[in-house]
């Protein structure tokens, strides 16, 4: 494969850069896109691919750009990660996807499942018995359990509905399993949380809880027959357990990667681990409980997954000088995503699609 050395090279240089310097340089993305154009042009003029292939690849890259920045918008990775995701999409030939279904779905699963597994394993390794017991206690809190059950029941139905539409119209052999569903549920639920935090939603009194309850009620009405099946409840309980485990890992791992930085020493791009909220009595700090949670409408931040802006730092320094906030801010150490995105691209090429499908086929 002509593109494999380019995929390996892009993965190595961007992973090193992300680990060493905490960023992905735009020039590597540009080099990758230019290389894709050159190689595909050579293949086109050599008669090895046709114009319809170019159109399909261009559409896939465009959708990758949209999806990548959507995932950035809901807070799962940085803008640099979104651009790297797009670059890998341009370098992976469509002929590499041997499994049925959308190429981008395979790539997303191959990226995010290893990330979630890393988070879970890291938390298990880095915590002692007392901390693990605390995690279990928080996991079993009735509010957390209710939240997980409601999310899987409501958002899971939406994901299943969309998969059904795709199977009936575009991808009749679209693969669907519990882990693929889980990744989609996490992305959809984060997007819904982001939507519910918008000012116009707050003005009409609609929040994430109300939306998910409404969806759940609709499911009870229109999907009641499926709920009578034992297999439905088995999948529902297992998916909820896995989802809860991942969400707890996301929350707990943030505590393992926190530094307290003096406000005068804050730098642009640092990711806050706590919000600074304006209240009637003054300013208070509030923990940001997961990577996907953005600042509230009362926050002084404009920060997103790319971290603090110059404007944010100026506000914090102003409040600190007026002694309205404490001298430290909890800051999240960044976890380099480029190695996971690179690994996902290689898994996609090697497996011809989702590695989850390969694993399932080995045990079926």
Same-domain status, 268 and 218: no
Same-domain status, 1 and 65: yes
Q: Which domain holds residue 31?
A: 1-96
- Give the per-residue pLDDT at 242: 86
Crossing angle of helices 129-139 and 230-256, in 10° steps, is 130
The reply to whether 282 falls in a domain is yes
In percent, the amount of the chain with pLDDT more than 90 equals: 37
The reply to whether 194 falls in a domain is yes
- Give the per-residue pLDDT at 8: 95
Nearest partner of 141 among 5, 253, 289, judged by Cα: 289
Res. 295 pLDDT band, cuts 50 70 90 = very low
47-56, 76-85, 241-250: segment of lowest average pLDDT:
241-250
The reply to whether 85 falls in a domain is yes
The reply to whether 345 falls in a domain is no
Same-domain status, 18 and 83: yes
Strand partners, 271: 332
Same-domain status, 178 and 243: yes
Using the predicted structure, report yes or no on whether residue 138 has a pLDDT greater than 80.
Answer: no
* Mean pLDDT for all residues in the chain: 85
The reply to whether 295 falls in a domain is yes
Same-domain status, 251 and 267: no
- Give the per-residue pLDDT at 142: 84
Contacts within 8 Å (CB) and 24+ apart, 202-208: 202/297
Using the predicted structure, report yes or no on whether residue 45 has a pLDDT greater than 90.
Answer: yes
Residue 359 CA to residue 364 CA, distance in Å, equals: 9
Cβ atoms within 10 Å, residue 260: 12
Predicted confidence (pLDDT) per residue in 184-223, tens digit: 898 888 888 878 777 777 778 888 889 999 999 999 999 9
Residue 353: left if φ>0, alpha if ψ -120 to 50, beta else—which one? left
Residue 7 CA to residue 251 CA, distance in Å, equals: 32
Using the predicted structure, report yes or no on whether residue 93 has a pLDDT greater than 90.
Answer: yes
Residues with Cβ within 8 Å of residue 95, at least 6 apart in sequence: none
Nearest partner of 29 among 39, 17, 21, judged by Cα: 17
Same-domain status, 133 and 210: yes
- Give the per-residue pLDDT at 289: 55
Using the predicted structure, report yes or no on whether residue 254 has a pLDDT greater than 70.
Answer: no
Average pLDDT over residues 96-115: 90
Residue 24 CA to residue 27 CA, distance in Å, equals: 9
Res. 55 pLDDT band, cuts 50 70 90 = very high
The reply to whether 110 falls in a domain is no
296-310, 330-344, 346-360: segment of lowest average pLDDT:
296-310
Same-domain status, 147 and 267: no
Average pLDDT over residues 112-117: 89
Same-domain status, 84 and 4: yes
Angle at 109 between CA 103 and CA 110, to 5 degrees: 90
Same-domain status, 236 and 262: no
- Give the per-residue pLDDT at 29: 96
The reply to whether 352 falls in a domain is no
86-90, 159-163, 290-294: segment of lowest average pLDDT:
290-294
- Give the per-residue pLDDT at 1: 65
Same-domain status, 92 and 35: yes
Same-domain status, 274 and 163: no
**Which position has the higher pLDDT, 47 or 304?**
47
- Count of the separate structural domains present in the chain: 3
In angstroms, the Cα distances linking 238 to 231, 242, 360 are 11, 6, 16
Average pLDDT over residues 259-276: 83
Res. 155 pLDDT band, cuts 50 70 90 = very high
Same-domain status, 274 and 179: no
- Give the per-residue pLDDT at 364: 65
Res. 265 pLDDT band, cuts 50 70 90 = confident
């Amino acid at each position: 494969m002509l593109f494999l050395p380019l995929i390996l090279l892009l993965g190595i240089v961007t992973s090193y850069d992300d680990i060493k310097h905490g960023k992905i340089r735009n020039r590597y993305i540009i080099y990758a896109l230019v290389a894709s154009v050159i190689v595909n042009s050579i293949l086109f003029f050599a008669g090895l691919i046709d114009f319809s292939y170019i159109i399909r690849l261009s559409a896939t890259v465009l959708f990758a750009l949209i999806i990548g920045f959507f995932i950035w918008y809901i807070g799962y990775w940085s803008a640099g990660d979104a651009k790297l995701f797009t670059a890998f999409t341009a370098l992976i030939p469509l002929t590499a996807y041997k499994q049925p279904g959308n190429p981008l779905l395979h790539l997303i699963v191959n990226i995010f499942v290893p990330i979630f597994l890393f988070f879970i394993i890291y938390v298990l390794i880095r915590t002692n018995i007392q901390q693990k017991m605390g995690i279990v206690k928080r996991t079993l809190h009735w509010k957390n359990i209710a939240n997980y059950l409601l999310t899987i029941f409501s958002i899971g139905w939406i994901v299943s509905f969309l998969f059904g539409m795709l199977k009936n119209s575009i991808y009749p052999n679209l693969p669907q399993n519990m882990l693929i569903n889980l990744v989609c549920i996490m992305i959809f639920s984060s997007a819904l949380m982001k939507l519910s935090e918008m000012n116009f939603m707050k003005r009409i009194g609609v929040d994430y809880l109300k939306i998910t309850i409404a969806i759940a009620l609709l499911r009870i009405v229109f999907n009641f027959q499926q709920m009578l099946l034992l297999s439905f409840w088995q999948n529902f309980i297992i998916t909820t357990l896995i989802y809860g485990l991942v969400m707890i890992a996301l929350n707990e791992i943030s505590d393992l990667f926190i530094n307290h930085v003096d406000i005068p020493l804050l730098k642009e791009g640092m990711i806050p681990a706590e919000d600074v909220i304006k209240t009637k009595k003054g300013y208070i700090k509030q923990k940001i409980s997961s990577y996907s949670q953005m600042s509230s409408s009362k926050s002084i931040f404009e920060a997103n997954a790319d971290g603090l802006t110059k404007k944010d730092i100026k506000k914090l320094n102003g409040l600190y000088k007026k002694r309205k906030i404490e001298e430290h801010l909890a800051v999240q150490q960044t976890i380099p995503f480029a190695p996971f995105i690179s690994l996902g691209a290689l898994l996609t090429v090697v497996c011809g699609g989702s590695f989850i499908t390969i694993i399932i086929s080995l045990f079926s």
